[in-house]
Amino acid sequence: MKILVAVKRVIDYNVKPRVKSDGSGVDLANVKMAMNPFDEIAVEEAVRLKEAGMASEVVVVSAGTAQSQEVLRTALAMGADRAVLVQSEAELQPLAVAKLLAAVAARENPQLVLLGKQAIDNDAGQTGQKLAALLGWPQATFAFKVEVDGQQLAVTREIDGGLERVALDLPAVVTTDLRLNSPRYVTLPNIMKAKKKPMETLSPEALAVDVAPRLKVLEVTEPPARKGGMMVPDVAALIEKLRNEAKVI
C-alpha cells in the first residue's frame, strides 16, 4: 500500500501572529515557520503504518513556495521515502490545494491519503473533504485511531458526542485529529539522511490545475482585547448585568 501525505508550511504554533499595518493579511516577515501540527500527526501515522508492515511507501506532498521544501525535508527525516513539491507563488486556497492534491494522487496512485484535519493558519478545515469529493473516494475525518485490514480501513473518529467508528474501502482519504498520535522527534542522523532522499518539483501548470483564488480577503484585524471580569454579590445581580449590560438574555 502506498500512502500519500499532504503537509503545509505555516507559522510555528509557538509564535503569536501579527497583522500587517494595512490590514491586508498576516505579517510573515522574519517569522519562524514550521510544519502544520495536524499534518505532522498525519506523517507520523503514515510512518507507523509502514513500520508495521501495512504500507510499502510513504510519499509526502506540499503545495506552496520554494520554502515549503523545509517541511518536506522534515517529513523525510521523520521516515517518509520521497517528496513532491507543487511550487507556486500564488495564494493557494483550500479548493486549489485539493485540486493539486487530486492531480498528484492521479500520478502517484496511492491507496490512502492522509492529511491534517485543518491548518492552523486559516483554520478552514476543508481540504480533506474537497479532495475526497474530487477523487470520488470515501473519507473519514477527525481520525482518533486508524486500523488497516486488507483492503478496508477502520477509523475511529472524534465527534461532538464522543467517538464514532466507521469502515471504509480503500482507496480513501483520512484527516487526522490531535489525539491520533504523538509525532516523533527528528534526530540529526535522520536529518542528514533526508537530504539524500528524492524530492520532485512540479508546477500547477504541469498538473493542468487552475489555482486562481475564488475568494477575496477584504480585511484582517486583531481580535478585540478581552476585558477584565468582575465579581457580583449574588445571582440576581448576575442576571441583571447579563440582561442590561451584556444584553445576552
pLDDT (tens digit, 9 = 90+) per residue, 2-17?
A: 999 999 999 998 888 8
226: pLDDT confidence band, cut at 50, 70 and 90?
A: confident
All three cell numbers of 98:
485539493
Grid cell for residue 95:
479548493
pLDDT at 30: 84
pLDDT value, residue 222: 85
What is the reported pLDDT for 2? Answer: 95
What average pLDDT does range 152-180 have in this prediction?
A: 93
Q: How far is CA 226 from CA 17, 124, 222, in A?
A: 17, 24, 12
With a cut of 90, say whether residue 149 has pLDDT above it: no
Work out whether the CA dihedral 216, 221, 222, 225 comes out positive or negative: negative
10-65 tens-digit pLDDT: 999 888 888 888 888 888 888 899 999 999 999 999 999 999 999 999 999 999 99
Tell me the pLDDT of the chain averaged across its residues.
Answer: 92
Model pTM? 0.85
Structural contact between residues 129 and 56, judged by C-beta atoms closer than 8 angstroms: no
Q: What whole-number distance in Å separates Cα of residue 216 and Cα of residue 37?
A: 26
pLDDT of residue 29: 83
| pLDDT value of position 16 | 87
* C-alpha cell of residue 20: 500587517
Q: Which fold has domain 2-222?
A: Rossmann fold (3.40.50)
Domains of the chain by residue range? 2-222
